[in-house]
Amino acid sequence: MSELTLKQIYEGVAFIVALIGGFTALANILKKPMDKVSGQIEKVDNKVTKMGNDLDQVKDGTMNSLRQSLVRDCEHCIAKNQISNDQLQMILDAYESYKNLGGDGYVTNLVEKTKSLPLVIK
């Protein structure tokens, strides 16, 4: 078995120090682009969050409009105690969209009452 000389130990340490220095330099070189990418990802994330919030507002507005239309149309038909096939189909289509948006039970009760009205042929 051969013994290590002091020169070989110094050369080994010098090699390790050079490797560490190289990796440090590489890390510093890569840090700037990574910081830039990180900033761009944050901007995209903020935009996606804003779009999600905007979409929630559109959903809420659409659901409110559908609720108003459904309540108005159902109450009109209930007051007349009759409904046409066309009116019923429009109410059912709007109600389906309303439910898909997460609509509540109040409108469900009105739609059920409206569905039980006598049909009038026009």
Assess if residue 77 is contained within a domain: yes
Assess if residue 3 is contained within a domain: no
Closest CA to 73 of 59, 54, 92, 55: 92
Assess if residue 53 is contained within a domain: yes
Taking the whole predicted model, whether its pTM rises above 0.75 is answered as no
pLDDT at residue 122 above 80?
no
- Rounded CA separation 83/116 (Å): 9
User: The domain containing residue 84 runs over which residues?
Assistant: 43-122
Query: What's the number of domains the chain is made of?
Result: 1
DSSP state at residue 118: P
- The whole-number average pLDDT for the span 46-63 is 92
DSSP state at residue 3: P
Task: Judge whether 73 and 91 are in contact, CB under 8 Å.
Answer: yes
Residue entry with tokens 């898909």: 100
- Rounded CA separation 76/84 (Å): 12
Average pLDDT, the chain: 90
Structure tokens at 94: 């709007």
